[in-house]
């Protein structure tokens, strides 16, 4: 039996809000390499899906990644022509809607119609499935409920001939495991190989965070070309081991240190990294530089996947009110502290008010103000007071922006630059549901079926 | 006879913060193999808990990865409820790696020449 050629998976987005011009160099590099290749976009954070569900309520044709056009249009024709498959969760709350939009884009570009599959089954908000998670969301105003699906329906769609696979909620690494599973034909209980591909997907899923993004610290951790960062490509071999690299001529850096930071990012127990596909173990993982901007990951092993899938339920949690005002020059810090004291008196009874002195301390501190209270008042000369509170009731929350604005005439001398914001907040609760109760599957979407 | 010097952790290691709910994880990655034993000895769960005392952390769990010369520090209940509930500008706690990297570390004189960055 001959070994299939090396699979390359490139990632051109690590979250909704990432740069939208990353795909071009990644696709160029995948095409230049010549072998089987897949382009992924990861655009679906926990809350992104709830926001998409709200968008779909307003517009039944919406609810998918709002920047879909910007992400796909520059590379769609080249990917179709060269046979680079595309896999993404940019379907969000409406994968079929995204699929129809992709068919529209292809028509507008004058390319042939791609074979687009959608993966469905993650959305558990329908009446028939609420009982699966209702115990975890008792009394909450629920916005969305989605299970984290795994790689299998993605692999099934690719094996059936899909050129583009549009998902909603799937585990981020599964965007990479799906193509590897389809390409190499691993057994679905080949835990070591699935775990290795999972960690390749983990390294890719935040885009440039493995290739020099979110790493730079001038003079100590220097990264060239941050304005033209190259997004990562994983070369995944038949055993699932991977080498992480990036397109030639792009900015950024890939070395053992950038890879270690991303390998442990949002991991808890490194010996039990849970996904729907496998429990990955990086306790004996090793990384080594095998060339310029090339790092190989080995030593990953795997254990049997969990019997349950994680479900995230997003719900409304009231309002977040924020306000800011600046003080500069002599006794600026004292005037900012006085403004905070005035706001505490005016907003008494509304619940805890957080106050930060931007330019003194604003981030390391805790909501209760223990940190700020421990700092001796200083003499900072350029200070921006920032206050925040949450409230279940919108009218009550609105009092904060009004009181911050009123500091213009009632507050300390010389305050300027008031900005305020009032936002609805979403919360998340999680639970586990039996895997067999979540019937995930793919289907093709054509213009006729749309 | 050599004497020890006390420097912030960032002279020996780098790291990145991640968050899930009200739990933060911070990687601490040795800049050089020579520093790894110092990290194991001094970046203890108790030392981390002290560094974050103002945030009233729950459990602190340290996972050692000797082959990577890195540890993953998991700090429970340290994010004022997490990204959906915290009033912090940085509700993810993304800046917290830089708080941990200020932890004082005692370094023997024979390793002082290897320290990273300006003192």
Q: Quick: pLDDT tens for B19-60.
A: 998 999 999 999 999 999 999 999 999 999 999 999 999 999
Contact (Cβ atoms closer than 8 angstroms) between residue A23 and residue A81: no
The answer for B 97-116 residues in CB contact with A (under 8 A) is: 99, 116
Cα dist. A127→A74, A132, A145, A436 in Å? 40, 10, 11, 18
Distance CA A366, CA B90 (A): 11
For B25, residues 6+ apart whose C-beta sits below 8 A from its C-beta are A264, A266, A267, A268, B17, B18, B19, B72, B73, B74, B75
The stretch A44-51 carries a mean pLDDT of 87
The confidence score (pLDDT) of residue A449 equals 59
Using an 8 Å Cβ cutoff, are A7 and A37 in contact?
yes
Checking A412-416 for CB contacts under 8 A at 24+ apart, the result is A412/A327, A412/A335, A412/A336, A412/A338, A412/A339, A412/A342, A413/A335, A414/A327, A414/A328, A414/A329, A414/A332, A414/A335, A415/A325, A415/A326, A415/A327, A415/A335, A415/A339, A416/A325, A416/A326
Nearest to A264 among B27, B56, B89 (CB): B27
- pLDDT, residue B38, reads 98
A345-384 residue pLDDT tens: 999 999 999 999 999 999 999 999 999 999 899 999 999 9
DSSP 3-state of A221: strand
Whether A243 and A277 have beta carbons less than 8 Å apart is answered as no
* HSE-up of residue A395 (Cα within 13 Å, Cβ side): 0
State the Cα–Cα distance between residues B31 and B38, nearest whole angstrom: 12
Alpha-carbon distance A71 to nearest alpha carbon in chain B (angstroms): 26
CB B118 within 8 A of CB B16: no
Residue B97: other Cβ atoms inside 10 A: 23
CA–CA dist B63, A381 (Å, integer): 43
**Per-domain residue ranges of chain A:** 7-129+144-307+437-445, 313-430
Among residues B24, B4, B3, B14, which one has the least CA distance to residue B79?
A: B24
Q: Which residue in chain B is spatially nearest to A220 when comparing CA positions?
A: B117
Mean pLDDT of A91-102: 97
Rounded to 10 degrees, the C-alpha dihedral A440/A162/A443/A62 comes to: 90
- Of the candidates A18, A39, A16, A44, the one whose C-alpha atom is nearest the C-alpha of residue A28 is A39
Span A388-437, pLDDT tens digits: 999 999 999 999 999 999 999 999 999 999 999 999 999 999 999 999 99
Which residue, B82, B102, B99, B98, is CA-closest to B90? B82
- The answer to whether residue A290 scores a pLDDT higher than 80 is yes
According to the model, what pLDDT value does residue B2 have?
A: 63
Confidence at residue A433, expressed as pLDDT on a 0 to 100 scale: 97
Cβ of B117 under 8 Å from any chain A Cβ?
yes
Can you point out the beta strands (E) in A29-70?
A: 37-41
Q: What's the distance, Cα to Cα, between the start and end of chain B in Å?
A: 23
Distance from CA of B66 to the nearest CA of A (A): 8
Average pLDDT, chain A: 96
Query: Mean pLDDT over residues A307-333, rounded?
Result: 97
Both tokens of residue B30? 């040795």
Interface test with B, best of A136, A268, A350, A397 (most B CBs within 10 A): A268
Handedness of CA A121, A125, A129, A135 (dihedral sign): positive
Range list of H helices, A124-186: 152-159, 174-184
What does the pLDDT average to over A224-233?
98
Residue B82 has pLDDT above 90, yes or no: no
Q: Given this model, what pLDDT does residue A146 score? A: 97
**Which among A260, A268, A371 has the least Cβ separation from residue B74?**
A268
Crossing angle between the packed helical segments A191-204 and A174-184, to the nearest 10 degrees: 130
Residue B1 has pLDDT above 80, yes or no: no
Give, in order, the Cα–Cα distances in Å from A189 to each of A18, A81, A278, A310, B108: 34, 34, 8, 19, 49
Q: What is the pLDDT of residue A45?
A: 86
Fold (CATH) for B4-102: Alpha-Beta Plaits (3.30.70)
At residue B24, the 3 state secondary structure works out as: strand
Listed in sequence order, the residues at least 6 apart from B17 whose beta carbon sits closer than 8 Å to its beta carbon are B24, B25, B26, B92, B93, B94, B95, B96, B97
Share of chain A above pLDDT 90, in %: 95
* pLDDT of res. A203: 98
Does A258 score more than 90 pLDDT?
yes
Q: Nearest-CA distance from A9 to chain B in Å?
A: 24
Q: Tokens for A368, please give them.
A: 């209760």
pLDDT at A3: 82
At B22 the pLDDT is 93
Superfamily of domain A313-430: TT1725-like (3.30.70.1120)
* CB-nearest partner of A267 from B14, B25, B88: B25
pLDDT of residue A1: 59
- Mean pLDDT over A94-114 rounds to 97
Is the pLDDT score of A450 beyond 60? no
- Check: CB of residue A258 under 8 Å from CB of residue A210: yes
Q: Quick one: tokens of A103?
A: 């068919």
For the residues A125-147, what does the mean pLDDT come to? 94
ipTM value of the model? Answer: 0.97
Label residue A47 by pLDDT band (50, 70, 90). Answer: confident
pLDDT given at position A405 = 98
Question: Does A2 score more than 60 pLDDT?
Answer: yes
Name the band, by pLDDT with cuts 50, 70 and 90, for residue A10. very high
Mean pLDDT of B104-112: 97
Amino acid A447: pLDDT: 77
Closest CA to A166 of A99, A115, A93: A99
Domain ranges of chain B: 4-102
Which pair of tokens denotes residue A109? 């570009």
Q: How many CB pairs under 8 A join A and B?
A: 110
């Amino acid at each position: 039996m001959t070994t299939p050629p090396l699979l390359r998976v490139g990632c051109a987005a690590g979250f909704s809000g990432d740069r939208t011009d990353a795909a071009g160099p990644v696709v160029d590099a995948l095409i230049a390499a010549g072998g089987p290749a897949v382009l992924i976009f990861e655009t679906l954070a926990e809350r992104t899906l709830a926001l998409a569900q709200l968008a779909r309520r307003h517009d039944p044709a919406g609810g998918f990644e709002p920047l879909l056009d910007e992400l796909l249009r520059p590379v769609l024709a080249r990917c179709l022509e060269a046979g680079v498959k595309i896999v993404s969760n940019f379907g969000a709350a409406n994968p079929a809607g995204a699929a129809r939009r992709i068919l529209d884009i292809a028509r507008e570009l004058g390319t042939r119609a791609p074979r687009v599959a959608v993966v469905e089954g993650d959305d558990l908000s329908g009446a028939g499935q609420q009982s699966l998670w209702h115990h975890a969301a008792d009394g909450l105003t629920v916005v969305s409920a989605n299970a984290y699906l795994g790689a299998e329906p993605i692999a099934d769609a690719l094996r059936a001939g899909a050129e583009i696979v549009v998902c909603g909620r799937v585990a981020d690494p599964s965007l990479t495991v799906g193509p590897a599973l389809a390409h190499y034909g691993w057994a679905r209980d080949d835990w070591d190989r699935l775990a290795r591909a999972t960690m390749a997907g983990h390294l890719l899923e935040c885009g440039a965070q493995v290739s020099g993004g979110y790493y730079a610290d001038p003079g100590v951790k220097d990264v060239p070309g941050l304005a033209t960062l190259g997004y990562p490509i994983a070369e995944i071999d038949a055993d699932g081991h991977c080498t992480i690299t990036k397109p030639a001529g792009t900015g950024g850096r890939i070395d053992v240190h950038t890879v270690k930071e991303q390998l442990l990012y949002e991991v808890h127990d490194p010996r039990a990294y849970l996904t729907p596909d496998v429990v990955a173990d990086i306790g004996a993982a090793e990384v080594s530089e095998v060339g310029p901007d090339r790092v190989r990951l080995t030593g990953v092993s795997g254990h049997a996947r969990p019997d349950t899938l994680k479900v995230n339920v997003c719900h409304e949690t009231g309002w977040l009110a924020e306000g800011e005002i600046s003080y500069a020059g002599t006794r600026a810090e004292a005037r900012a502290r006085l403004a905070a004291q005035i706001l505490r008196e005016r907003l008494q009874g509304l619940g805890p008010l957080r106050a930060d002195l931007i330019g003194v301390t604003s981030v390391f501190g805790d909501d209760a103000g223990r940190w700020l209270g421990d700092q001796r008042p200083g003499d900072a000369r350029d200070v921006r007071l920032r206050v925040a509170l949450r409230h279940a009731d919108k009218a009550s929350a609105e009092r904060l922006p009004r009181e911050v604005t009123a500091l213009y005439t009632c507050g300390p001398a010389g305050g300027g630059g008031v900005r305020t914001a009032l936002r609805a907040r979403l919360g998340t609760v999680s639970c586990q549901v039996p895997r067999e109760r979540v019937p995930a599957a793919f289907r093709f979407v054509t213009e006729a079926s749309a | 006879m050599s004497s020890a010097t006390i420097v912030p952790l960032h002279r020996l290691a780098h790291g990145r913060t991640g968050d899930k709910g009200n739990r933060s994880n911070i990687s601490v990655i040795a800049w050089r193999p020579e520093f790894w034993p110092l990290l194991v000895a001094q970046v203890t769960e108790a030392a981390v808990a002290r560094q974050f005392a103002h945030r009233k952390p729950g459990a602190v769990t340290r996972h050692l990865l000797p082959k990577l010369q890195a540890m993953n520090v998991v700090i429970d209940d340290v994010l004022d409820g997490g990204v959906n509930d915290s009033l912090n500008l940085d509700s993810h706690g993304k800046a917290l790696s830089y708080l941990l990297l200020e932890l004082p570390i005692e370094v023997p004189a024979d390793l002082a020449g290897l320290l990273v960055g300006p003192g």
